[in-house]
A and B are shown apart, each in its own frame.
Chain A
Amino acid sequence: GQQVMQIPQYQHVQEGEDFTTYCNSSTTLSNIQWYKQRPGGHPVFLIQLVKSGEVKKQKRLTFQFGEAKKNSSLHITATQTTDVGTYFCALGTSGGSYIPTFGRGTSLIVHP
């Protein structure tokens, strides 16, 4: 089956520092999604990447899809306490339907 590795598992930062989480797949991906889960909450969709080498930005968040479509990263510039949560990548199976396999997630802790 599809293997997904997400690192790091935890990351502590001081407010204002940058943060990056990485997602690596054992197979070439058709696309990848990113979700955020606040403490005590549920996963919420952030973005989907489809094209090789694609880069998308949402305010302070930058998402990249690797050229080989086997890895992806999420970078947050100048973290804020509102960024606290667990960030998951989700890998899709090939074919017409997107049935995602979630990584273990990276938990971000921001210290004020």
Chain B
Amino acid sequence: DAGVIQSPRHEVTEMGQEVTLRCKPISGHDYLFWYRQTMMRGLELLIYFNNNVPIDDSGMPEDRFSAKMPNASFSTLKIQPSEPRDSAVYFCASKGGFGTPATGELFFGEGSRLTVL
């Protein structure tokens, strides 16, 4: 398996522009997580899905952020409009659920580094 795949790896954009980050989880995993990492706040859970359904989005900072999971193999995190304080590394992670041999281990993608000027 190729692991969790994220795109783009790097994105530089100007304030006010829309940003879309993409994630392909590991096949068969039924949990998908979006995390944001900054020096100031560490690794923050933004939202997670179970079987494509958003379960907890309490970590989403504000209405400018939205996430979707239209099917089991694809998720997006959208920021509209973007602001400089959104600059961070955004990680997607997936894990198996009940009935899998997984310990609950999260598999992270390589991240999308976002810079908003």
Q: Give A residues with C-beta under 8 Å from B.
A: 31, 33, 35, 41-45, 48, 88, 90, 92, 96-105
Contact = CB atoms under 8 A, between A and B. Distances in A.
Contact of A97 (B31, B91, B109, B111): B31
B105 A48 contact: yes
Contact of A98 (B35, B95, B111): B95
Nearest to A48: B103
Interface of B is mostly: strand
B50 interface: yes
Contacts of B91: 42-43
Given A98-B95, A101-B45, A42 B108 contact: yes
B99 to A, nearest CB: 11
Given A42-B110, A43-B91, A104-B42, A99 B105 contact: no
Interface residues of B, number: 22
Contact of B43 (A44, A45, A88): A88
B104 A43 contact: no
Nearest to B103: A48
